Amino acid sequence: MDDGDNSIPSLVDAAATGDEQAWHEIVDRYTPLLGSVIHCFRLTKAETQDVAQTVWLRLVEHLGRLREPRALPMWIITTSRRESLRCLSDRRRTVPYDPLDPSWPIFPTDDAEPDAELLRADRHEALLAGLAELPARQRELLLLLVADPPLSYAEITERTGIPTGSIGPTRRRALDRLRQTFAVRDYLAGPLAAPVAPGRTACLAPSRPAIRIDRERGEGHDAAPLG
Amino acid sequence: MTQHRWDDDQDLLDDLSEALRDAELPSTIAECGKGAYAWRTVDQDLLLASLSLDSSLEHMAERRSAGGEGRVLVFTASPLSLELEVMPDHVAGQILPPGPGKVRVETLDGVTFYVDADDAGFFYIPRKPAGPARLRCDTPAGRLVTDWIYL
């Protein structure tokens, strides 16, 4: 557990120079985001594990190149999307093509209209990347507040030490902080204002993705290299 | 700025809750993430060659993959880069700019083996590693390590 004020860039710097504890903290903070992206592709359990493992292994070596706060979540989103797509591509190589099989992955190249599922994925990624930016105490409280099954305030007090009377105000401050995170502010500012991750449209399940690998933008950007 | 649904505390919390419910969160994701640090490269002189092309993603647009052709991967560093063609049972590669070298294939289960690159930089890996792997190349022009990759 961090002391609450470790910013993402300082964690990245520390992990890049040998601080394993800082790396563990990065993993804890960004596991929900990574899990959310992979979930879009409806991979099997084994495939999910493969993709997650590859993304983490690769990130360890890329830490030294990620300086600004937005770079890390963008890198995770882009890399895990591409690895998930690679997984689907492997499947296609090993399964013979059957034109009558409705589950056969089809990947239209045109930019599809952003549909509800794509918008939902963007919204989730923004919130989970925002959550990762919060200090540990606020992050922990929000996670307990949305726990399923729900916890009572008394149980939350027991787990966090936050007095029951302070939970309401702490919740309000945590949500205010969430709105002020880079991830949520970028999302709310809209697609024109936010930095666009290469492969941004390359998401979602076999039935409905739009694939556009934008290599020109991918090249030379440490924030989100291909893979 | 116009009013947004997230201006309301409960709506914001509800959406966060939905986002977390939708995520794949097996504990194994965090566990393998923490274990990944053991593979951190501390060798300052080793160039990191990032994956800059994966033809399997390019071919996603087509209904079938191009028959008979392997998957092409390009790892770029400066001044060296590495190209691989991944076939069903072997991997062919070239170090660029062309030159001799020693290639080490590293896998997570600790299985490591070496192959030699000839004077034109060509090398041949007779079997495909099962899990994530990376390649290290030692050449007179420099040393590089690729991104981790599923071959």
User: What is the C-alpha separation between A83 and B145, in angstroms, rounded?
Assistant: 19
Q: How far off is chain A from B140, nearest CA to CA, in Å?
A: 23
User: What is the C-alpha separation between B55 and B85, in angstroms, rounded?
Assistant: 10
Q: Is B39 touching A (CB cutoff 8 A)?
A: yes
When mean pLDDT is compared across A1-5, A185-189, B80-84, the lowest value belongs to A1-5
When mean pLDDT is compared across A101-105, A133-137, A204-208, the lowest value belongs to A204-208
Q: Which range has highest mean pLDDT (A103-107, A163-167, A218-222)?
A: A163-167
Chain B interface test: which of A41, A61, A148 (most B C-beta within 10 Å): A61
A105 Cβ contact partners less than 8 Å away, ≥ 6 residues apart: A88, A91, A92, A206
What is residue B94's predicted lDDT score, i.e. its pLDDT? 96
B43-150, CATH topology level: Immunoglobulin-like (2.60.40)
Domain ranges of chain B: 5-36, 43-150
Chain segment A137-155, per-residue pLDDT in tens = 999 999 999 988 899 999 9
What is residue B118's predicted lDDT score, i.e. its pLDDT? 96
Average pLDDT of the segment spanning A35-50: 90
- Answer whether residue A167 shows pLDDT above 90: yes
Which residues of chain B are within 8 Å of residue A178 when distances are taken between CB atoms? 12, 16
Closest CA to A141 of A123, A124, A155: A155
Q: How far off is chain B from A149, nearest CA to CA, in Å?
A: 12
Which residues of chain A are within 8 Å of residue B17 when distances are taken between CB atoms? 146, 148
Q: Hey, are the CB atoms on B16 and A49 less than 8 Å from each other?
A: no
Q: Is A53 touching B (CB cutoff 8 A)?
A: yes
With bands split at pLDDT 50, 70 and 90, how would you rate the model's confidence at A210?
very low
- Architecture label for domain A8-134+181-218: Orthogonal Bundle (1.10)
What is residue A219's predicted lDDT score, i.e. its pLDDT? 36
A177 Cβ contact partners less than 8 Å away, ≥ 6 residues apart: A134, A135, A138
B136 Cβ contact partners less than 8 Å away, ≥ 6 residues apart: B46, B103, B104, B106, B143, B144, B145, B146
Domain ranges of chain A: 8-134+181-218
Q: Which of residues 7-26 of B touch A (CB under 8 A)?
A: 9, 12-13, 15-26
Q: Is A184 touching B (CB cutoff 8 A)?
A: yes
Average pLDDT of the segment spanning B8-29: 89
- CB A194, CB A25: distance < 8 Å: no
Closest CA to A72 of A115, A123, A15, A122: A15
**Structure letter (DSSP) for residue A95:** S
The reported pTM is 0.83
With bands split at pLDDT 50, 70 and 90, how would you rate the model's confidence at A95?
low
**Prediction ipTM score:** 0.90
How many C-beta atoms surround the C-beta of residue B110 within 10 A?
A: 6
Chain A interface test: which of B39, B48, B60, B64 (most A C-beta within 10 Å): B60
Average pLDDT of the segment spanning B23-36: 86
With bands split at pLDDT 50, 70 and 90, how would you rate the model's confidence at A11?
very high
What is residue A216's predicted lDDT score, i.e. its pLDDT? 35
What is residue B96's predicted lDDT score, i.e. its pLDDT? 94
Question: DSSP for chain B?
Answer: ----GGGSHHHHHHHHHHHHHHS---HHHHHHHHHGGGG----TTPEEEEEEEEHHHHGGGSSSPPTT--EEEEEE-SS-EEEEEE-SS-EEEEEES---EEEEEEETTS-EEEEEE-TTSEEEESS--SSEEEEEEEETTEEEEEPPEE-
With bands split at pLDDT 50, 70 and 90, how would you rate the model's confidence at B25?
confident
Q: Hey, are the CB atoms on A142 and B13 less than 8 Å from each other?
A: yes
When mean pLDDT is compared across A64-73, A98-107, B32-41, B75-84, the lowest value belongs to A98-107
% of chain B exceeding 90 in pLDDT: 64
Give strand pairing partners of B149. B133
Alpha-carbon distance values, A157 to A129, A150, B68, B75 (Å): 26, 14, 62, 51
- Answer whether residue A108 shows pLDDT above 80: no
Average pLDDT of the segment spanning B70-81: 92
What is residue B50's predicted lDDT score, i.e. its pLDDT? 93
With bands split at pLDDT 50, 70 and 90, how would you rate the model's confidence at A1?
very low
% of chain A exceeding 70 in pLDDT: 70
What is residue A204's predicted lDDT score, i.e. its pLDDT? 41
Chain segment A98-107, per-residue pLDDT in tens = 555 555 555 5
With bands split at pLDDT 50, 70 and 90, how would you rate the model's confidence at A90?
confident
Which residues of chain A are within 8 Å of residue B51 when distances are taken between CB atoms? 225-227
**Structure letter (DSSP) for residue A227:** -
Q: Which range has highest mean pLDDT (A25-34, A39-48, A91-100, A215-224)?
A: A25-34
